[in-house]
């Protein structure tokens, strides 16, 4: 009897270790990173400007008095501070950086009204495109001007099985899905890592894509580099559904049964002696 109990215990231990190993593998990201040929992600990282975007543009030069007309209604003491919004209002001041310069809002036609130069159309253009265009136009009036441009309302939303759901403003205007999940405190133990949904609204068109965090090919996905307004939704696993249906006292019952079985095995062993 004693040998049977020891044998059963050994089997249960082996099964437990195997299940634990599998569970650990299920939590690992980008498991095949060594086998994946990573393509250039630059083609996906150039986010185009959209209507409603808030652009901070500052023109500088060796003689700042010369560029004053291009920085109307702005003084060096002004600071734009976009707020990061965390779930439940926690940690509201983390990740904030100062963005100096006058702010321009892209209108419904994709234009910004820039001093001296006039309307600058941003449709289909990236921040780099607009920066180069402004530098070229300002160069007609100023020698060797420097143009700084940043997007201050780049917001993404992370929902579902993460530790901190909420909206996040990315102050540098660029983020990957890994950055976003990091801001949200990573997935919970019940987050489905093989099927993360990204919903994208761009120029009035809604698209979506699914990402497997365990597959390193996610780096080559068009949804790896996020765009303004993207929503990331992490679904729950079957285990979460099973747990939610269980009696809250199930764990206590299983523990009591385990203790009872162990006690009986010990008693039987003593009688055998």
pLDDT in tens, 96-147: 445 578 899 999 999 999 999 999 999 989 899 999 999 999 999 999 999 9
Q: What is the pLDDT of residue 99?
A: 55
Q: What is the pLDDT of residue 34?
A: 62
Q: What is the pLDDT of residue 249?
A: 62
**C-beta separation of 120 from 133 below 8 A:** yes
Q: Which two tokens stand for residue 187?
A: 């997935």
Q: What is the pLDDT of residue 183?
A: 94
Q: Which two tokens stand for residue 264?
A: 């009986």
Candidates 208, 219, 206; CA nearest to 30 is 219
Q: Which residues share a beta bridge with 150?
A: 56
Intra-chain end-to-end CA distance of the chain, in Å = 11
Q: What is the pLDDT of residue 92?
A: 37
Helical residues (DSSP H) of the chain, grouped into ranges: 2-27, 42-45, 127-138, 177-183, 238-245, 250-272
Candidates 119, 120, 117; CA nearest to 138 is 117
Q: Per-domain residue ranges for the chain?
A: 31-43+154-241, 54-82+97-151
For the chain (273 residues), the mean pLDDT of every run of 10, in chain order, is 51 47 52 57 64 91 92 56 39 46 91 94 92 96 93 91 93 86 93 94 88 90 91 87 63 63 61 59
Q: Does 54-82+97-151 match 31-43+154-241 at the fold level?
A: no
Distance (Å, whole) CA 59 – CA 147: 5
Query: What fold, for 54-82+97-151?
Result: wza like fold (3.30.1950)
Q: β-strands 155-160, 231-236: how paired? A: parallel
Grouping H, G, I as helix, E, B as strand and the rest as coil, residue 152 is coil
Count of H helices and E strands in the chain?
6, 10
- Domain spanning 31-43+154-241: which CATH class is it, in words? alpha beta
Q: What is the pLDDT of residue 271?
A: 60
**C-beta separation of 196 from 234 below 8 A:** yes
């Amino acid at each position: 009897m004693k040998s049977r109990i020891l044998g059963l215990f050994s089997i249960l231990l082996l099964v437990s270790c195997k299940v634990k190993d599998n569970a650990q593998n299920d939590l690992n990201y980008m498991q095949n990173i060594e086998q994946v040929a990573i393509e250039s992600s630059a083609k996906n990282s150039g986010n185009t400007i959209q209507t409603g975007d808030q652009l901070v543009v500052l023109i500088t030069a060796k003689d700042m008095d010369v560029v004053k007309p291009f920085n109307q209604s702005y003084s060096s003491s002004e600071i734009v501070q976009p707020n990061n919004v965390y779930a439940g209002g926690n940690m509201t001041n983390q990740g904030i950086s100062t963005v100096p310069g006058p702010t321009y809002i892209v209108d419904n036609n994709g234009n910004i009204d820039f001093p001296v130069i006039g309307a600058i159309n941003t449709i289909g253009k990236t921040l780099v495109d607009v920066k180069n265009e402004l530098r070229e136009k300002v160069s007609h009036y100023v020698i060797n001007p420097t143009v700084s441009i940043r997007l201050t309302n780049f917001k993404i939303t992370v929902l579902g099985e993460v530790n901190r759901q909420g909206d996040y403003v990315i102050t540098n205007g660029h983020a990957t899905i890994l950055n976003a999940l990091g801001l949200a405190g990573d997935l919970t133990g019940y987050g489905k890592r093989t099927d993360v949904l990204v919903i994208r609204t761009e120029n009035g068109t809604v698209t979506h894509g699914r990402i497997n965090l365990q597959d390193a090919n996610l780096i080559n996905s068009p949804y790896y580099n996020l765009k303004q307004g993207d929503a990331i939704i992490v679904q729950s696993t079957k285990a979460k559904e099973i747990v939610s249906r269980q009696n809250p006292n199930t764990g206590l019952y299983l523990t009591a049964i385990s203790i009872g079985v162990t006690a009986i095995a010990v008693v039987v062993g003593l009688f055998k002696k």
